[in-house]
Amino acid sequence: MSTHDSPTRREFFKRAAAGTAVLGMSAASYARVVGANDRIRIAQIGCGNRGFGAHMAGVYKHAKEQNVDIVAICDVWKEHLDRATAKVNEWYGRAPLATTKYEEVLATKNVDAVMIASPDHQHCMHLEAAGKVGKDAYCEKPLAMNMEELKSACNAVKAADIVVQIGTQSRSTPALVGCRKLYQTGVLGKVSRVEQYRNGNRPNWYKRLVRLPIAKSQLDWQEFLKPRPDRPFDDLLFAGWYGYREFCSGSIGQFMSHFIDLVHFITGAKFPTSAVAMGDTFVWEDEYKFDCPDQVETTLIYPEGFMVQYGTNFGNGSGNRTVMCGTQGIMDLSKRSKPTVSGEGAYEKGTLGEAAAVEPVECPDHFLDWLQCLRSRKTPVAPIEAGYQHAVACILSDLAWETGRRQVYDQDRREIREG
């Protein structure tokens, strides 16, 4: 081929970009495709039990195969920071950048992507900041605690065209992917109700109190509070943040977020139209003054024609149950690794009889899916849209509990109102 016949580099990328439009990939995203031999450099923001035990370990499992390196870590507590530093040193033979300031991580040029496992009140702050500097992200659930921060973070992600995986890892569980496939066959008939009861003998935030006492010198207190208002140092507030509504919505944000995302994933539904909720603290009233309720129940209506019920009782751990009820039978997901379907309770004759195991569908684990998408620029299994959808359902339910009034979601306006 003559030089005259060869396309210039600019023309090549124009043609390539045009081709990616057909594949659903933007030109900007195509330009960021990572070569197989290029190393992906990751930072961990939040090195607590989730960040250290799930994120870092989950990525390191695939580090060699996917050519991944953890180059920076960030945590407000020295104990977590030192532990994570030592682990990276053990894995890679050199110390990472270690800081309490997330801004320092995001300003580091050799960081390609961040994993966010900070406290719930900071997820949107950290994700939005990652979007503004064009770094891909893996972000824990719940994605948001209010609509304003949710919309702002999602807008930043969309504007930057970054790859985001939300940490609702049930979407990457073979047995539950199998449930989705089976559900789509219509084997349950008309589904009218989905419910989960996730109980415990005491609230999950109490087990975090083993961290006490924590010296002020060991904690970047102002960094932990962001974006909440400043106040005097309080190690109880830091250790038990799961139980305080300023930093967490309790079981709705922590547990219901997983459940409602699974409902969306299996059924294909996106947004509830309304929610009502009730709850209070009936057992765990003590000197800690936690204000997340130890019991809560919420009911959501979906335009697809079914109702979803979620409840938690932190006073007795029995009665856990997750089921999808249809006119021809039920899908029982109470044992997440071994879900079953049966004709139990059916009034229409279908194909279901005695309880039978749902056939799993093999898939990459949640971290591997994200890492593969960082290279291909394809959409992960739990994209930002999925995070937005589960966050809306949780915020709607939390507002219904807080106000004692029915809450309605307007999908077109992206607004919640009483109604």
pLDDT digits (tens, 9 = 90+) for 324-349: 999 999 999 999 999 999 999 999 99
Q: Name all domains of the chain by residue range, CATH numbers in brackets.
A: 13-169 (3.40.50.720), 171-363+384-418 (3.30.360.10)
For residue 35, the model assigns a pLDDT of 53
pTM above 0.75, yes or no: yes
Identify the pLDDT of residue 21: 41
Q: What does the pLDDT read at residue 5?
A: 36
Which runs of E-coded beta strand occur in 19-110?
A: 40-45, 68-74, 97-99
CA distances for 330 relative to 83, 303, 334, angstroms: 45, 20, 12
Cα→Cα distances 3→7, 14, 190, Å? 8, 18, 64
pLDDT, tens digit, for every residue of 70-87?
A: 999 999 999 999 999 999
| CB atoms near residue 42 (< 10 Å) | 29
Q: Tens digit of pLDDT for each residue in 246-275?
A: 999 999 999 999 999 999 999 999 999 999
Say what the alpha-carbon torsion angle 264, 204, 116, 147 is, to the nearest 10 degrees: 50
Mean pLDDT of 211-230: 98
Determine the pLDDT at residue 15. 42
Give the pair of three-digit tokens for residue 18: 């045009």
The pLDDT tens digits for 96-120 are: 999 999 999 999 999 999 999 999 9
Residue 174: cis peptide before it, omega within 30 degrees of 0:
no
CB of 284 within 8 A of CB of 290? yes
What phi and psi, each to the nearest 5 degrees, are found at residue 321? -165, 140
Size of the chain in residues: 419
Strands 164-166 and 136-139: parallel
* pLDDT at res. 34: 56
Distance from C-alpha of 327 to C-alpha of 193, rounded to nearest angstrom:
10
CA distance 122 to 120: 5
How far lies 312's CA from each of 129, 138, 295, 318, 333, in Å? 33, 27, 6, 11, 16
Q: How confident is the model at residue 33 (pLDDT cuts 50, 70, 90)?
A: low
Read off the DSSP letter of residue 77.
Answer: B
Q: What are phi and psi of 141, to 5 degrees?
A: -95, 160
Q: Could you tell me which residue, 229 or 20, shows the higher pLDDT?
A: 229
**Torsion 214-58-201-389 (CA) sign:** positive
